[in-house]
Chains A and B, each alone.
Chain A
Amino acid sequence: MRLDVRSLCSRLPTYFSRLYSEHVFSEEMRLLRPLLEVEGEEEVMGNVNEVIREEFYGFIDQLLEGWNAGKVKDVLKKYADWAISQLDRVGVEK
């Protein structure tokens, strides 16, 4: 799915905990979803986390292009890898 991540960032509630998510977060996200989808469905082929990793790597390269920030890119990619490795730890597929 193509998501507008900036829009998601803007609309998310601050408070997020397992207790909260179990009761309401899913419902809030269901309501938010139509506001976030752009350019229709896109099938994700292969490993989901690999696809997401490529997206974030592209985002990092794009934002830091021309800043001579090689070390920052590497560090950000390291933390992005860690964060992406956590993505499937919690949450229910919609």
Chain B
Amino acid sequence: MDLNVCMLLWEWPPQLQGGLGVHGYENSKALAKLGCRVSVITRFAVSNPVFQKEAGVKVYRVPERRVVMTIPFNDFRAFLSANLAFNIAATAKIIELEKERRFDLCHVHDWLSAISGLSVKEALGKPMVFTVHSTESVRSGDKGIEPIMNLEKLCAEKADIVITVSNYIKQEVARMGLSEEKIRVIYNGVDSKRFKPASEREKRKVRSKYELDDCRVVLFLGRLDPSKGLDYLLKALPMVLDEEPETKVVIAGQGWLEPMLVALAKLLGVEDHVVFAGYVPSKELPALYSTAEVFVSPSLCEPFGITLLEAMACGTAVVSTYTGGIPEFVKPMENGILVDAHSPDQLAYAITLLFQDEALRRKLAENGRKTVEKDFTWEKTAMETLKVYEEVLESSS
């Protein structure tokens, strides 16, 4: 089906900070490969063009021109004002493009672009698909901001179909009072041609860059915030070192928790065994994943967990927690190990087990790669998204 899709995304490269951005970027490209004409409306980014075409996807950044407003300063007021300005400018851009593009539907991602999607649906009568990557309630541990939760609920109610990235998020959306019949689960994917086991030469470069020498390497990659449970990984490290003294944990990513994690590593006396790698460019990630013997995601709350899939695609054994959407694709002792969240003891045991049992580590790593190749590709995500589009258009025609 030759579809004309308007994709509303708050994140697009270079502004990628989480699953929403990766999903939006990869799924848009994969949909274009399937023959969809995808127009992405995203937010303005300094030093980036207001229009570009990338892998068959047309990308428009708004507001196109400088917008100056009189707004008394207050954190939330400034944040919501900027977001509202984006949503208004995005709607205006859709109206402009609609003259020639004749969009079949509008696809909204999380609350950040909900106002534009709702406006287009109400004013132009376009069908609307709403993908929920996470909810405010999940992000904040049930202490979310009420206006954001209200907007999520309104958008879910008005959408023709709601897509969630895991069954866990499906249940969260259902908790808003939405019928489960209206919700489809479509998992994220991984580009397994890019995320694949690296060569020995590439791995040596990583070891040299982060001064890992011949140490056993544990990797974490992600945003450094409390929901990721990194303090539990650091607390597990002294126990791992008791068994494997030549171990280093690489913590890749940025976030406001970093100074506290550095302090905790010192307090635990393990600072010489922790490398804070900061932001790692996307092209260096496959080699970094491959260098690690064990990838650990000690999350306390995770809507899905794309980094686990990326590590699995790179042939690295993974350890994670029984939280959120993770158990939907990490199967204990088949393609990874799951432990209870908030448990340094169990994390230490799992890491040590994988260090010491090479056969198990290899088995989990091989099965992990197979899992990704079989069930978690962006092509599959795009095909299932396309089916949802067809379903929406059939029911609205």
Chain A positions near chain B (C-beta within 8 angstroms): 1-21, 23-26, 29, 33, 36, 38-39, 42, 44, 48, 51-52, 55-56, 59-60, 63-64, 67, 69, 71-72, 74-76, 79-80, 83-84, 86-94
Q: Are B75 and A59 in contact (CB under 8 A)?
A: no
Shortest distance in angstroms between B20's beta carbon and chain A's nearest beta carbon? 7
Q: Are A79 and B45 in contact (CB under 8 A)?
A: no
Q: Are A91 and B17 in contact (CB under 8 A)?
A: no
Partner of A15, one of B18, B80, B118: B18
Query: Quick one: given A2-B69, A19-B141, are A91 and B75 in contact (CB under 8 Å)?
Result: yes
* Residues of chain B contacted by A8 (CB below 8 angstroms): 78, 81-82
Q: Which of B69-112 contact A (CB under 8 A)?
A: 69-89, 91-92, 95-96, 112
Q: Are B70 and A6 in contact (CB under 8 A)?
A: no
A67 to B118 alpha-carbon distance, docked (Å): 19
Q: Are B73 and A33 in contact (CB under 8 A)?
A: yes
Q: Are A17 and B67 in contact (CB under 8 A)?
A: no
Partner of B88, one of A11, A20, A36, A59: A59
Q: Are B118 and A4 in contact (CB under 8 A)?
A: no
* Residues of chain A contacted by B148 (CB below 8 angstroms): 16
Partner of A90, one of B43, B72, B82, B147: B147
B119-127, B237-245, B285-293: which one contacts chain A?
Answer: B119-127
**A3-B81, A5-B71, A20-B256 given. 11 additional CB < 8 A pairs?**
A3-B68, A5-B82, A7-B46, A12-B79, A52-B77, A72-B95, A74-B123, A75-B123, A83-B147, A86-B146, A86-B147
Q: Are B81 and A15 in contact (CB under 8 A)?
A: no
- In the A-B complex, the 3 residue pairs with the closest CB atoms: A91-B76, A86-B147, A63-B92
Q: Are B63 and A15 in contact (CB under 8 A)?
A: no
Q: Which residue of A lies closest to B48 (CB)?
A: A10
Q: Are B81 and A14 in contact (CB under 8 A)?
A: no
Chain A contact residues: helix, strand, loop or mixed: helix
* Residues of chain A contacted by B72 (CB below 8 angstroms): 1, 44, 48, 51, 93
A76 to B35 alpha-carbon distance, docked (Å): 32
Chain B contact residues: helix, strand, loop or mixed: helix
How many chain B residues have a CB neighbour from A under 8 Å? 63
Interface contacts (Cβ under 8 Å), in number, total 193
* Residues of chain B contacted by A39 (CB below 8 angstroms): 68
Between B18, B82, B136, B139, the greatest number of chain A beta carbons within 10 A of the residue's beta carbon is seen for B82
A56 to B223 alpha-carbon distance, docked (Å): 33
Q: Are B15 and A14 in contact (CB under 8 A)?
A: yes
Q: Which residue of B lies closest to A71 (CB)?
A: B123
Q: Which residue of A lies closest to B110 (CB)?
A: A14
Q: Which residue of A lies closest to B154 (CB)?
A: A82
Partner of B71, one of A1, A9, A12: A1
Q: Can you identify 19 A-B contacts, CB atoms within 8 angstroms?
A: A3-B68, A3-B78, A5-B82, A13-B17, A15-B17, A16-B145, A17-B145, A19-B226, A44-B72, A56-B69, A69-B123, A72-B119, A75-B122, A79-B119, A87-B76, A87-B81, A90-B145, A92-B75, A93-B73
A93 to B73 alpha-carbon distance, docked (Å): 7
Is B191 an interface position by the 8 A CB rule? Answer: no
* Residues of chain B contacted by A3 (CB below 8 angstroms): 68-71, 73, 78, 81
Q: Are B75 and A25 in contact (CB under 8 A)?
A: yes
Contact with A along B133-159 (1 / 0, CB 8 A): 000100111011111101000000000
Q: Are A18 and B144 in contact (CB under 8 A)?
A: yes
A12 to B112 alpha-carbon distance, docked (Å): 12
* Residues of chain B contacted by A74 (CB below 8 angstroms): 123
A9 to B80 alpha-carbon distance, docked (Å): 10
Shortest distance in angstroms between B65's beta carbon and chain A's nearest beta carbon? 7
* Residues of chain B contacted by A93 (CB below 8 angstroms): 72-74
Is B163 an interface position by the 8 A CB rule? Answer: no
Query: Quick one: given A10-B43, A17-B136, A23-B256, are A1 and B115 in contact (CB under 8 Å)?
Result: no
Shortest distance in angstroms between A65's beta carbon and chain B's nearest beta carbon? 10
* Residues of chain B contacted by A94 (CB below 8 angstroms): 73-75
Between A25, A51, A87, the greatest number of chain B beta carbons within 10 A of the residue's beta carbon is seen for A87
Shortest distance in angstroms between B122's beta carbon and chain A's nearest beta carbon? 5
* Residues of chain A contacted by B11 (CB below 8 angstroms): 14
A72 to B77 alpha-carbon distance, docked (Å): 24
* Residues of chain A contacted by B77 (CB below 8 angstroms): 52, 87-88, 91
* Residues of chain A contacted by B187 (CB below 8 angstroms): none
* Residues of chain A contacted by B373 (CB below 8 angstroms): none
Is B44 an interface position by the 8 A CB rule? Answer: yes
Is B232 an interface position by the 8 A CB rule? Answer: no
